[in-house]
Structure formats: C-alpha cells, structure tokens
Amino acid sequence: MESMKFLADAMLGKLAEWLRILGYDTVSASDLSILDDDYLLDIAEGEDRVLLTKDRELFQRAQKEDIQAVLVEGNSVEEQLAYLVKNKVIELRDVPSLDRCPRCNGPLVKVSKGEVKGLVPVSVYMSHDEFWMCTNCGQVYWKGSHWKKMKEFVERVKSLI
C-alpha cells in the first residue's frame, strides 16, 4: 500500500492534495495541461497509477481497459478520505507526512535552518529549527500552526470511519 501511486481526476483536486499530505504519490489532473479522459487513462496505465474519479463513465472505461480505478464517494474531502480508508485503498496516518509536497507532489527533503534563511518569514526562521524543502518547486515547510490543523482534520476523518 505504501508504494501505491494515484492519479486524481480534476474533480478531486483537494483530495489529491490531502493524499500528498499523507505521503501518497498523487498526480492531480488539475495540474496537467490536457484533461481529456483518454489522456488520464494513458497516464494511469503508463505510470501504474490508480485512477481516482467521481466520473462513473470514466471509472467504467478504466475497468474495461483493465486499469486500476476507484469510483470515489463523498462530497467533502473528509468523506472521500474516509471512503478510501474504509475500502482499504489507503491507510490513514496520524501525523501528516513529510514525504511529498502538497503543492506539486515533488519529494520533500530535510534541509538545514541556514538553507531557508530569507525563504521563510523572519518570525518562522527565529521560532523553528526543522525545515523541509520540495526538490521540485522549492516550497519550504515547517511544523507551524497548520500542523495542528492538519492533525485535527485527520481526527475528523477518523470520526467518519
């Protein structure tokens, strides 16, 4: 399950972001320049990704072409994640992962405090000692107030399971 990779259709952009936060390699169709179904199916098959979709027709096409796909149920991201956990597609982790960039899906690496000087607000630089940077887009992350909010979000998902 750890090595499972996903492709989320354009209707599941927020779900893709949360899967990345949880450490899952997830490409979002919203990030791609071409959004037609044939292209999505080609990517899912070519990169061995599980297609996540809310589009019943796309799901059925994937099944006919023997491409792994999940027809995701739920309107909120919390409901969608709970659905994936209940159906044993993913495991819900207690702590957000520091493996994937929520913005672009690039790998995160731990960097020294000195490497982020000038890249983060001075108050953040002064109050934190651990930082991670995306090797793809350069976004810097730290365990700030958003960390607690992410943990609370995961607890809300758990309450739906």
User: pLDDT band at 2, cuts 50/70/90?
Assistant: low
161 token code pair: 């399971």
User: pLDDT band at 22, cuts 50/70/90?
Assistant: very high
Which DSSP letter does residue 103 get?
A: T
Nearest CA to 11 among 55, 45, 43? 55
Greater model confidence, 31 or 49: 49
pLDDT of residue 3: 74
pLDDT of residue 1: 47
User: pLDDT band at 29, cuts 50/70/90?
Assistant: very high
- The sign one gets for the Cα dihedral 46, 75, 19, 104 is positive
pLDDT of residue 52: 98
Strand order in the sheet with 140-141: 108-111, 131-134, 140-141
How many angstroms separate the CA atoms of 146 and 144, rounded? 5
